Amino acid sequence: MLAALAGLSTPLAAQETRGPILTLGLAYTVGSGWQIQGFDVGYGRVLRSGPFAAVSLGARLGEFIDQRAIIGGSQGFVFGATLAARTHALTVAEFGSDTAPSRIGIDVTFETTGYAGAHSPLGIGSPWGAISVLPGLRIGNFGVLFGPTAFFGTATLVRPFLGVRFDVPLARRERYP
């Protein structure tokens, strides 16, 4: 909460960064029946050129939840390693001062994830993989992603994915002579 408050208290133009970032987020597969909900943490780099604005390598730790259950809907846990690449945001609106405007943009994140879980109710075995194409709305370093994710294991399963991401710029140490 303090990291989010500190990030939101600075002008959004000042949040745009180059270099290393720490990515924090929440990840959900949505739909009826069993779902995965988890917490993401990752290390990434903001790129200066090329088709992608940032690439990151992260970990996802979560659980299987039965959305039909009122009490005791949790069955097992899941761990995933994620490689993600985010395109440059297409600016759709600007607000704030003329010298340091805050931007709202649309981007696309491509993710590939390898999962391992215990007591998986999904019926695709363990381990399994997933590929996601996630259009997102980005305000500064905060983004909301929603799109399809396809799980591949002993069977194939496609589910909607909802993610909330926050990129925290990491300080770079300079060498002193």
Q: How many CB atoms lie within 10 A of CB 131?
A: 13
**In the chain, where do the E strands start and end?**
19-29, 34-46, 52-66, 74-87, 90-96, 101-118, 128-139, 142-152, 156-169
Alpha carbon distances (Å) from 25 to 14, 57, 82, 141, 172: 21, 13, 12, 12, 22
Q: In the numeric block, which tokens belong to residue 143?
A: 């983004």
CATH topology of domain 22-169: Porin (2.40.160)
**Predicted confidence pLDDT, tens digits, the chain (177 residues):** 555 555 555 444 444 556 899 999 999 998 777 888 999 999 999 998 889 999 999 999 999 887 777 777 777 889 999 999 999 999 999 888 888 788 899 999 999 999 998 877 777 778 889 999 999 999 988 999 999 999 998 888 899 999 999 999 887 665 655
Q: Rounded to two decimals, what is the model's pTM? A: 0.79
Contact 147/135 with Cβ under 8 angstroms? Answer: yes
